[in-house]
Structure 1
Amino acid sequence: MSGSNPLWDLHRSGLAGATYTDLTHAFHPGQPHFASFPDEERELLFDFAKGHGFQVHRYSIPGQWGTHVDPPVHFIEGGRTLDEIPVSEMLLPLVILDISERVAADADATPTTDDVAAWEARNGRIPEKAFVALRTDWYKRWPDSDRFYNRSADGVVHTPGWSRNVLELLFVERGITAIGHEQIDTDPGLATSAGNYALEHYVLSLDRWQIELMNNLDKVPEAGALIMASWPKVKDGSGFPARVVAIHR
């Protein structure tokens, strides 16, 4: 082949020296998960120690397991399923909205529009069709379920989450494609403890999707990175573990 190939040139030179940061937890039995879900079951069907020439596991998991994708149909009847999300949405500009210092002092902290304004003052307007991830450093509690849920003596969960006004700003005014976060739920623990999942419902009602239980967001710059998120193409799927990677300098 002769001549220039722009995409190959991009990979060879434009991405030369780039850092690839895995934003995914390795899932396993006993990990933190939504309390109503059963734990993972894993069976070794074939193995070298059994005299077989290969190894095969059978996995039994809920779709929302480990670092995973929530498509619209997860909360919205008739919403897009996993196989209906186009691959063009799986490579996006990555914005990191960092509230980790506030979370360290107050586990119930949520982002404000001032946080978005401060990010834009430093980096410019959040790009349309971006993926915005909420950095809380909550991932550092993985895989301790007690620390992840952070329940007080009265059983109330104290975890950070999103806020409605920030989500409206990001999706409606900035036109982003998806969000992600490190904790188990979109909504803060004070809401989920009361059975309130209104923010997750809101995101998915907009025909958008999200990644939950993200990892290593503190290792990625707040602006300038790309995110690559992928998952199996499950027919009519309502959720599945995802592999998520940040590409950055």
Structure 2
Amino acid sequence: MDNPVEPPLWSAYRELTAKATCVDLTHAFHPGQPHFAAFPDERREKVFDMDRGDGFNVHLYTLVGQWGTHVDPPVHFVAGARTVDEIPVEEMILPLVVLDITDRVAADPDATPTMEDVAAWERRNGKIPAGAFVALRTGWGRRWPDRNAMANKDAAGVSHTPGWSAEVLRYLFEQAGVTAIGHEQTDTDPGSATSAGDFSLELYVLARDRWQIELMANLDQVPETGALIVATWPKPQGGSGFPARVFALCPTG
């Protein structure tokens, strides 16, 4: 056939890649990295090794699902709720909204977002779109992979890290209708809460049949509006969490 018409999705792909840059929002995971204190460290060994004369390399990884940049599905906190394999691929590419509280966190590591932060974002950009992924930018990802800096504990052992706030999460899920959230720190809840065993904000998110990405990287490299996020992960049947590969498609120019 002379001069065949290019398939529409191929044309859309060419146009998208010409007008967008990719930003990796994922930390490479490894043994010894920061993690929830109750979890064991990753163990890794080479069961086949070309340096030993084998014909190929194969690693055996032993790790918890909530390891490094990872997805928390609803079942992580809610018995009988959706598992990793039950989250449809349609939810894995979404409009990306970034709420930035980096300056406030620099002055106060216990800072959380307020409704004024949301209102200011909407004054600049319009309403947060339904179905979006909302990421909380705090600057905390720059501390990776320093375990002490990530935990930021005081002399009494209380962790001082930023987190979400109940008022903002209620607005995002109950009014804006977002699909998922993400953040740079280890937990949804601020460190002052998790140090007391309070994970109520994470429970709120997952109990609404929503999912989240924790320990995101490079959020300082994406705009507060206009980008797309792609979040994907392996598909363990009945899985309660897994390391994720997450990136943003950001407009150029």
Q: What's the TM-score bracket when you normalise by the shorter of the two chains? A: over 0.9
Partner of 1:126: 128
| Map of 1:159 onto structure 2 | 161
Write the distance in 2 (CA, Å) between the matches of 1:14 and 1:40.
Answer: 37
Give the counterpart of 1:23 among 15, 22, 25. 25
2:151 equivalent among 149, 152, 162: 149
Deviates more, 1:40-49 or 1:204-213: 40-49
Structure 2 residues not aligned, in runs of 5+: none
| Matching residue of 1:82 | 84
Q: Which residue of 2 aligns with 1:92?
A: 94
Q: Distance in 1 between matches of 2:216 and 2:239?
A: 20
Q: Report the 3-state secondary structure (helix = DSSP H, G, I; strand = E; otherwise coil) of the residue aligned with 1:96.
A: strand
Return the alpha-carbon distance in structure 1 between the equivalents of residues 220 and 227 of structure 2: 13
- CA-to-aligned-CA distance 1:141-189 (integer Å, 9 cap, x gap): 0001000000000110000000000000001100000000000000000
Superposition deviation, residue 6 in structure 1: 2.3
- Could you tell which deviates more after superposition, 96-105 or 2-11? 2-11
- AA of the residue aligned to 1:221: P
* 1:70 is the counterpart of 2:49: no
Task: Quote the residue 2:194 is aligned against.
Answer: 192
Output the CA distance in 2 between the equivalents of 1:21 and 1:116. 24
Give SS of 2:121's match: helix
- Partner deviation per Cα, 1:24-56 (whole Å, 9 max, x = no partner): 000000000000000000011111111011000
How far 1:212 sits from its partner (Å)? Answer: 0.1
Aligned equivalents of 1:217, 1:66: Cα separation in 2: 15
Instruction: Give the Å deviation of 1:7.
Output: 1.6
Moved segments of 4+, more than 6 Å: none
Q: Percent identity?
A: 67
Moved more, 213-222 or 16-25: 16-25
Alignment RMSD: 0.8
Number of residue pairs the alignment of both structures matches:
249
Normalised by the size of structure 2, how large is the TM-score?
Answer: 0.97
Q: Deviations over 1:103-149 (max 9, x none)?
A: 00000000001000000100111111000000001000000100000
What aligned pairs does 1:50-65 form with structure 2 within 5 A after superposition? 50-65=52-67
Residue 18 of structure 2 aligns to a residue whose secondary structure is: coil
Which residue of 2 is the match for residue 11 of structure 1?
13
In the alignment, the residues of structure 1 paired with residue 143 and residue 102 of structure 2 have an alpha-carbon distance, to the nearest angstrom, of 13
Structure 1 runs not aligned, ≥5 long: none
Report the TM-score when normalising by structure 1. Answer: 0.99
